Amino acid sequence: MKLKSYVAGKWVEGTGDGRPFIDPTTGEELGRVDATGVDGAAALEHARTVGGPALAALSFAERGAILRAIADALTANRDAYGEIARKNSGNTVRDAAIDIDGGIATLKVYARLGQSLGDAKVLVEPGEDVLARSGNFAARHFWTSRKGAALQINAFNFPSWGLWEKVAVALLAGSPSVAKPASATAWLSRQMVADVIAAGAVPEGALQIVCGGGKDLVAALQPMDSLAFTGSAATGEMLRSDPAVLRAAPRVTVEADSINATVLGPDAGPDSDVFALAVREVVSALSVKAGQLCTNIRRVLVPAEHADAFRDAVAAKLAGLTVGNPADESVRVGPLVDLDQRQTALEGIAALSAEATVVAGGGIPDQVVGADPQAGAFLAPTLLSCADPTDGRAVHEIEVFGPCATVMPYHGVDQAVALAAHGGGSLALSLFTGDRAVQRDVALGVAPFHGRVMMVDPEVGKDHTGHGIVMPQCVHGGPGRAGGGEELGGLRGLRLHMQRTAVQGAPAALAALADDATEATL
């Protein structure tokens, strides 16, 4: 099987040998991905000239209906996606649901947002700024759809959610999408797009997909286009500095890897419910999707007096996790995406071990359920302990993209905030405490360095959505190392694909323009 690309209204097969994608449980080759000969520039031009005008003719409510139709088409084929996720991503049933159902749910959220904006095609911010003493000259800010294409380059860990969270926002904003999934897991992305196209859910040119290399896509970007990238910080830096991007200056947003953290408050002793909740969340971080989440917990900051107890509690839970073939219902931890990723993870653990002690895991399991631990990309859930995180560098700079986290003791809330900031900018931090003063000091103290802060106390309990789970109502992204980007966040996500323009004139003229717009705050 060789995955085809959907470009300019037709499915096109690459002319080269391509690169293999595998079953990470067995190491078996499942097929190949190749975009040799696929015209990326033509895909972007087709989006601009065919997809863009088709979306521009529709109201926000009508675009919302398209998103609902996409969600319905995906729901109708839901069972097939789970099997692909198991074979190609090594996902357990739970892992696959997070990715597949997360993508569908995000489409539905943005479909409802489209309905709420009604029949307008333009948004206007509330309020008017008077610019003249007489009151007869004023300004209002209007949002209109940019006349370009949205190039969306995604990471391997979320071939469904990563695809649809970008497509949902772009289509609602009136921007046609050209998706470029990561080759290692492109099978699921391609199948989903194929089902959506077959269902006739989207206007021609509004959604295309390129499976394989995409260098000519970046080279063909124009000023009104946008580039949304999710992946490594190194690749994000390369894309930002690409001569074509520098020359054309399309809008760029980057969500990169980050060293996210969890903080246990000083009040949360070993006998407290909050302590147990924090243990539960760290164990989840070391099992769900085999730890392959960009938002995942990598550093666990614990009061020095509770550090040993917390470390031992997590290690005890990890001992009960079953690693192996995700087809087995008893398995909690599947393989990493491929053997190269496992090797990179092992090298990262070795680097962390220069500053931390391995408490649990640390390598390839001796045995796994229903598979060969060497042939498959299996890695034991790994917990490390760093006695002196203040002087450490590797523990704050190296992300092991797998089931791996490091416990670090802190002395006082101020030090916890400072240690969290050592990550250089992160996507997410979670705080487990029932102390309102600690919530205030930590949440506001770490906020400049994080895109999202999740606070869990006895009132929230188990009702929280999870440290690693990205909700479409909340912004997703982070400063510094995390890429400096921002996606989702309800209507806030539309800002990447729309232009805010200050329109000046007589109040009556501005009111007339606003009559054809929907008032909204982005």
Structural tokens at position 369: 């359920």
**Is residue 44 packed enough to be buried (19+ CB in 10 Å), middle (13-18) or exposed (0-12)?**
buried
Dmax (CA) for the chain in angstroms is 81
Q: Which residues contact residue 4 at a Cβ distance below 8 angstroms, ignoring those fewer than 6 apart?
A: 11, 12, 13, 14, 190, 211
**Segment holding 248, helix H or strand E:** helix 243-248
Task: Give the Cβ contact number of residue 7 at 10 Å.
Answer: 21
Q: Which residues contact residue 11 at a Cβ distance below 8 angstroms, ignoring those fewer than 6 apart?
A: 4, 5, 194
Structural tokens at position 311: 């470390």
Task: Give the Cβ contact number of residue 364 at 10 Å.
Answer: 16
Selecting among 165, 211, 255, 487, the annotated active-site residue is 255
What is the Rg, in whole angstroms, of the alpha carbon atoms belonging to the chain?
24
Sign of CA dihedral 75, 79, 80, 82: positive
Beta bridge partners of 404: 382
| Coil, helix or strand at residue 404 | strand
CA distances from 421 to 300, 390, 396, 504 (A): 13, 11, 9, 42
| Coil, helix or strand at residue 211 | coil
Selecting among 165, 211, 281, 294, the annotated active-site residue is 294
Of the candidates 118, 24, 130, 88, which has an alpha carbon nearest to the alpha carbon of residue 504?
130
Q: Would you call 255 a catalytic residue per the annotation? A: yes
Whether the CB-CB separation of 413 and 376 falls below 8 Å is answered with no
Report which residue type is found at 87: K
177 φ, ψ (degrees, to nearest 5): -110, 140
Q: Which residue has the tokens 């139709």?
A: 69
Q: How far apart are CA 23 and CA 84, in angstroms?
A: 10
Q: Which residue has the tokens 């990561």?
A: 182
Q: Is 252 left (phi over 0), alpha (psi -120 to 50) or beta?
A: beta
Side-chain-side CA neighbours of residue 257 (13 Å): 19
The set of catalytic residues is 255, 294
